[in-house]
Structure 1
Amino acid sequence: MAQRTSRRGVSPAATPLSSISEYTAHPVDVAPVDPLDIRILRLLCDDARMSQRELARRLGMSAPAIGERLARLERLGVITGYGVRVDWSRLGYPTIVYLTITALPGYEQGKIMRGLAMLPEVEEVMLVTGGIDLLVRLRVRDHVHLRDVLLNHVWQIEGIQRTETSMTIAEMAPKNSAADLLSLMLPTSPMVTGESTMFVDGRD
């Protein structure tokens, strides 16, 4: 889609990465979890509304024991919340847009990120390597809505030198990537059945 270049000035004291510390990932200790914790997480990734009683039934445990496990995972910061998946197409927002942004040389990119994050249509803002500075994912109703977002909001953010916009025309159904990754974390264990040995990797 259309590209845009800005000639706005830059503060001489600014450095490009001086204001992104709040957005960068900081080293954290890996939480001490076991295969049972992973199985609980995997079930919740499939259905975040699953009750403790149902989790207990599926895993052969008591509901209080499941409750203790969940409380511990929350204290460890492994579980940070319980959410809902929305079909935005049914609410009139079917279009996903990817926006690449190049910042003005020397401009504080954290300021641009904060400005973008304030827009309700913006789902993700990422600082990336390569020939661009930022990758942004937006959700809009249609091209008219996108034009309004670009003209009246994105392009009004100070520090943006250039943008390129790509509208999706087709996409696969979202995969449950969290459940897939959790399955990889389950240990492979031998299970002896009669004269043969099978290997179980924890996938349901």
Structure 2
Amino acid sequence: MARPSDGRKDQELINILTANARIPLAEIAKTLGVSRATVQGRLTRLEREGAIVGYTTVLGKDDAHNTALSAIILIELEVKQQGNVIALLRKKSEIIQCYTLNGHFDLFVKIKCATSTHLDEIIDWIAEMDGVRRTTSSILLARKFER
């Protein structure tokens, strides 16, 4: 188990990578005041422990490939249907995130599709799923920032 000071350094490392996952290890080491080998060791441990599970590319708002439509759907479930619904949602590659919620809705789902017609089909598929009581959807417009 990491000591509290190590936990703070781990969080600082994660914050640096969240801002820029391509930053050189030497620069991270300088920022954290540790050696490059220490940074590499922390990264390896955080990946092994599952705190860091991957690195990704975030496209700019003017990128020519950023033409997909994204939407969020809030889903209210029938009692004891969460496992079944999540299992079905997981099978659709267009569904890129799924979170459980407290409050009136049970799930938050983010969808990404190439066309509005396809997005509409996915939203309808979710709404008609056994165990789904009701949904509410919003299309995401412009990303103002992302961490």
TM over 0.5: yes
Which structure has the greater CA radius of gyration?
Answer: 1
Q: 125, 132, 136: which is aligned to 1:164?
A: 136
CA distance in 2, matches of 1:127, 1:37: 26
Q: Which runs of 5+ in 1 are unaligned?
A: 1-28, 177-204
Mapped pair 1:100 → 2:100: no
Alpha-carbon spacing, 1:87–1:37, altered in 2? closer, same or farther (3 Å): same
CA distance in 1, matches of 2:106, 2:38: 47
CA distance in 2, matches of 1:148, 1:162: 16
Alpha-carbon spacing, 1:93–1:155, altered in 2? closer, same or farther (3 Å): farther
Normalising by structure 2, what TM-score?
A: 0.72
Aligned to 2:25: 52
Higher relative contact order (CA 8 A, sep 6+): 1
Amino acid of the structure 1 residue aligned with 2:65: L
**Alpha-carbon RMSD:** 3.0
Deviation at 1:57, TM superposition (A): 4.3
Amino acid of the structure 2 residue aligned with 1:96: S
Query: What secondary structure, in the 3-state scheme, does the structure 2 residue paired with 1:166 have?
Result: strand
Q: Which runs of 5+ in 2 are unaligned?
A: none
Deviation at 1:164, TM superposition (A): 2.3
Alpha-carbon spacing, 1:92–1:131, altered in 2? closer, same or farther (3 Å): same
Structure 1's consecutive aligned runs of 4 or more residues displaced over 4 angstroms after TM superposition are 57-61
Q: 25, 40, 51: which is aligned to 1:67?
A: 40
Alpha-carbon spacing, 1:162–1:59, altered in 2? closer, same or farther (3 Å): closer
CA distance in 1, matches of 2:94, 2:59: 15
CA distance in 2, matches of 1:77, 1:92: 29
Deviation at 1:75, TM superposition (A): 4.2
State the identity %. Answer: 24
Query: What secondary structure, in the 3-state scheme, does the structure 2 residue paired with 1:91 have?
Result: coil
> Comparing both structures, which one devotes a greater share of its residues to helix?
2
Q: Please list the CA deviations of residues 15-60 of structure 1 after superposition, one character each: whole Å capped at 9, or x if unmatched.
A: xxxxxxxxxxxxxx7x432544343333222221223233334445
